A and B are shown apart, each in its own frame.
Chain A
Amino acid sequence: MSDTFEPVIVGFTCNWCSYRAADLAGMSRIKYAPNVRLIRLMCSGRLDPQFVFKALAEGADGVLISGCHPGDCHYVEQNYKTMRRFALLKRTLAALGIEPARIKLVWASAAEGNILAEEIDKMVAEVRALGPLNWKHDGRPQTADRGEHAAVGGLRSAVAEVAA
């Protein structure tokens, strides 16, 4: 594995706790790994598993999912549904040959900018150690070190359909 490999991670945050945790990390000037690109959802319960497949298919090496702590959900209990989906998602990805450490669920309240930053740092280190996902891109240019990932060819077309 190359020493220079820097993973790219897509992060999904809820609007109320974890996006504000990211805001707080910023306001507190906490420096953390720049590898995560955040996308705001209203609730972690909005996370459609297709989003995770889509992100991995588009070249991300990992996906971070973040929401309010159990019991603190702005929408009462929707993060419990995230928790259920996350367990299923992990199993499905494992069946496809994708390392479970490539997806991570983090609870971060609006007061926990430091925790979100720490978890991002940890995850980036873990995914960096795993190396690139190398999920094949149909008909799109490939960089040299991002080759074919055998197990996932079938899923790609499914994802493409979903996205359409």
Chain B
Amino acid sequence: MAEKIGVYVCHCGSNIAGVVDVAAVAKWAEENLPNVRVARDYKFMCSSLGQEMIEKDIKDLGLTRVVVAACSPHLHEVTFRNACQRAGLNPYLFEMVSIREQVSWVTKDKAIATEKAKMLVAGGVRRVAYHQPLEPLFVDINPNVLVVGGGIAGIQAALEIADQGSHVYLVEREPSIGGHMAQFDKTFPTLDCAACILTPKMFTAGTHPNITLLTWSEVEKVDGSVGNFTVQVRQKARKVNTEKCTGCGVCEEKCPKKVIDTVFEAGMGTRKAIYTPFPQAVPKYPVIDIANCIYFQRGTCKACEKFCPTGAIDFEQQDEMLTLHVGNIILATGYELFDARRIPQYGYGRLANVVTNLEFERLSNTAGPTGGKIVLRDGVTVPQTVGIIHCVGSRDIKYNVDCSAICCMQSLKFAHLVKEKTGAKVYNFYIDIRTPGKTYDEFYRRILDEGVHFIRGKVAEVSDMPRFPGEEGKLIIQVEDTLAGRQLRVPVDMVILSAAMQPRADAKQVGQKFGISCSANGWFIERHPKLDPVATMTEGIFIAGVCQGPKDIPATVSQGAAAAARVLGLIGKKQVTLEPVRASINAERCSGCRICNNLCPFNAITFIEDRTVSEINPALCQGCGTCVAACPAGAITGSHFTNEQIMAQIEGVLWDLNGHGVKQELELTRA
């Protein structure tokens, strides 16, 4: 029987209709394309009225195929498939043509845009004629969840999921969870101490019956897909038996080797070769830093072993490989700080009293190396004047183009802390002040009222070369005050650089491991920048926190909870529906050449020795179609992307060139 195809061309308000003559496209399709029974245009096809129109036509006119020419299928393909289904038509007998993203938004000339739209519609109409009714695939969801990264985003996500009753594996690279937030002193704008609000959450995560903490561990390999991921995790050898360790801390006390702590203390303080990064660390078990341990380097010492009251030190302990089975994965891998040495004129690393934001956090933190005293590098001198430079390595085309989102508020917080603790004169050097959060601008006003100086201008240089009286022994900040229109030299005792948040150096590799990609700036890409900010293009992989882009703690916590909600939604459904785009082999045509066998990265194709044919396991097949294209016998079919469908679409999009143009009623048999 001949197919009856309905074609629906959307105006999208003026988004499409402002450039493409939608009525002409519909009329042309109805008059020229084979099997088109009806073609209409409508203001908003995706509206309920638009959808009802399609449903009515399916019922009244007996349409057997539907084509909608509107926005990208990534936006509304599901909407119209559902409409078809409601009207009793198999949802896969529908095809969507993108004439907004691919035509009206990218084409200047209206006549040319209309012609291009016609050809794309012709491609859709020709393709849809060969569509076959398909049933979606259902995959069971393993309720276990993997959360990668134990910062506040990962902790929040893990707690939300664990509280609901599903099991969470929380993997953290460092010896303790807590992330950057554990390093901070006070948090803006309320100035409550970071540790006070974070450590209870860390403790809960550490003791929760539904959370398995895997610290000092890294994900090595991820296989599988939504519902059923298999993850290999390397648990690095702590050289401490956590079954026996009580976390008493004697080992740390007795360890004779002091090391500068470049991670937690940001180089401002020291730790021992066996250490927990900070007193409230979760878990409480220490790790031995092999590169600095006297026993591992010289073969003698073992002080920790001698003094350990429970015999927990195990120098022979090896890395362990764990295999986890999870249904969903949340990545909350955070950020790293911009290396301020890359801007040599600011003197970081060369001038002792130029410090970064993270170093200042440790300096100001009562649990930090100076006990919370803000002093110069000599450890005693209290600064009289302090300069805070905003946007170091952010909003700068040479380094990171994006705004770090938190530096303004963080710099305001620093200004307050310095004033409160030392009474020093404080200068903020800013490009723009950005305080868009709840009660953030009030905080800015408060700091202004406290008498902090604000100078608008990008700092040119920080030097220790005095030129004028009063500059001796000082750091001199050279800047143009762009509001006053004059050059300034501001002598200060200490400079704080608000260094940018930037993607982790290995973000790209981590993304590849999990099958997601990074934006041009290096942050993980979300499925939709506004409407789907914690999902990714890969089903079952979610992102939360700064690994998605710079943001403050409230936004990070929200994203952690949001990602958890998305995962819990999937767990609650117990099953996920997958596109029935799968390859299958026609055993009668298969010659057993085995060319396809090595092409599949998912090991979905196996060779059946006794029948000398290959077979595809639909549960493993991801539907890429590489084997379909490779089969020399044409024995493999890729559903919904069959050769017939694509060949027909090629003919369609070249309708103006390939000599069609006469309306033909094609007799098509349904499979």
Q: Give A contacts to B, CB under 8 Å.
A: 8, 10, 16-17, 19-20, 22-23, 25-27, 29-32, 34, 37-43, 45-51, 54-55, 58-60, 68, 71-72, 74-78, 81, 85, 109-112, 117, 137, 140-142, 146, 162-163
- On whether A74 and B629 interact (CB within 8 A), knowing A26-B100, A29-B106, the answer reads no
B207 at the binding interface (Cβ < 8 Å): no
B48 at the binding interface (Cβ < 8 Å): no
Which of B86-94, B354-362, B485-493, B651-659 makes up part of the contact surface?
B651-659
Contacting residues, chain A, for B512 (C-beta < 8 A): 71-72
B515 at the binding interface (Cβ < 8 Å): yes
Across the interface, A41 reaches (CB within 8 A) one of B72, B106, B519, B646, namely B646
Q: Give B contacts to A, CB under 8 Å.
A: 72-74, 98, 100-103, 105-109, 112-113, 116, 119-120, 123, 512, 515, 517-520, 525, 537-538, 581, 599, 601-602, 622-626, 628-630, 638, 641, 643, 646-647, 649-651, 653-654, 656-659, 661
Helix, strand, loop or mixed for chain A's interface?
loop
Q: Are B624 and A72 in contact (CB under 8 A)?
A: no
Q: Which residue of A lies closest to B223 (CB)?
A: A76
Contacting residues, chain B, for A26 (C-beta < 8 A): 72, 98, 100-102, 105-106
Q: Which residue of A lies closest to B646 (CB)?
A: A51
Across the interface, B654 reaches (CB within 8 A) one of A27, A58, A68, A110, namely A58
- On whether A34 and B107 interact (CB within 8 A), knowing A23-B74, A26-B102, A163-B647, the answer reads yes
Q: Are B519 and A43 in contact (CB under 8 A)?
A: no
| A-B residue pairs in contact (CB < 8 Å), sample of 6 | A29-B106, A34-B103, A39-B650, A58-B651, A81-B599, A162-B643
Q: What's the nearest-Cβ distance from chain A to residue B16, in Å?
A: 11
Q: What's the nearest-Cβ distance from chain A to residue B314, in Å?
A: 38
Q: Which residue of B lies closest to A139 (CB)?
A: B659
Q: What's the nearest-Cβ distance from chain A to residue B621, in Å?
A: 10
Contacting residues, chain A, for B656 (C-beta < 8 A): 8
Q: Are B630 and A42 in contact (CB under 8 A)?
A: no
- On whether A10 and B650 interact (CB within 8 A), knowing A42-B625, A48-B629, A76-B601, the answer reads yes
- On whether A32 and B601 interact (CB within 8 A), knowing A37-B654, A75-B622, the answer reads no
Q: What's the nearest-Cβ distance from chain B to residue A9, in Å?
A: 10
Q: Are B515 and A74 in contact (CB under 8 A)?
A: yes
Q: Are A46 and B525 in contact (CB under 8 A)?
A: no
CA distance A43 to B600 in the complex (A): 13
Tell which of A17, A40, A47, A71 has the most Cβ of chain B within 10 Å.
Answer: A40
Q: Are B519 and A40 in contact (CB under 8 A)?
A: no
Q: What are the 4 A-B residue pairs with the smallest beta carbon separation, nearest first? A: A26-B101, A59-B657, A140-B659, A46-B625
Contacting residues, chain A, for B654 (C-beta < 8 A): 8, 10, 37, 55, 58-60
Contacting residues, chain B, for A45 (C-beta < 8 A): 599, 624-626, 629
Across the interface, B626 reaches (CB within 8 A) one of A20, A27, A37, A46, namely A46
Contacting residues, chain B, for A8 (C-beta < 8 A): 654, 656-657
Q: Are B626 and A75 in contact (CB under 8 A)?
A: yes
- On whether A46 and B657 interact (CB within 8 A), knowing A37-B119, A110-B525, the answer reads no
CA distance A60 to B641 in the complex (A): 21
Q: What's the nearest-Cβ distance from chain B to residue A108, in Å?
A: 11
Q: What's the nearest-Cβ distance from chain A to residue B77, in Å?
A: 11
Q: Are A39 and B106 in contact (CB under 8 A)?
A: no
- On whether A110 and B537 interact (CB within 8 A), knowing A31-B108, A46-B628, the answer reads yes
Q: Which residue of A lies closest to B127 (CB)?
A: A39
Q: What's the nearest-Cβ distance from chain A to residue B119, in Å?
A: 6
Q: Are B625 and A41 in contact (CB under 8 A)?
A: yes
Across the interface, A23 reaches (CB within 8 A) one of B101, B622, B650, B657, namely B101
Q: Which residue of B lies closest to A81 (CB)?
A: B626
Q: Are A137 and B646 in contact (CB under 8 A)?
A: no
CA distance A133 to B628 in the complex (A): 28
Q: What's the nearest-Cβ distance from chain B to residue A60, in Å?
A: 6
- On whether A141 and B119 interact (CB within 8 A), knowing A42-B625, A109-B517, A111-B525, the answer reads no
Could you list 16 further interchain pairs (A-B, Cβ under 8 angstroms) beyond the known A39-B649, A42-B624, A49-B629? A10-B650, A22-B101, A25-B105, A29-B106, A34-B107, A34-B116, A43-B625, A46-B629, A50-B647, A74-B537, A75-B602, A110-B537, A112-B520, A140-B659, A141-B659, A142-B659
Contacting residues, chain A, for B112 (C-beta < 8 A): 34
CA distance A146 to B657 in the complex (A): 10
CA distance A19 to B429 in the complex (A): 43
CA distance A17 to B622 in the complex (A): 16
Q: Are B659 and A137 in contact (CB under 8 A)?
A: yes
Q: Which residue of B lies closest to A141 (CB)?
A: B659
Q: Are B647 and A10 in contact (CB under 8 A)?
A: no
Q: Which residue of A lies closest to B116 (CB)?
A: A34
Tell which of A26, A71, A72, A81 has the most Cβ of chain B within 10 Å.
Answer: A26
CA distance A26 to B70 in the complex (A): 13
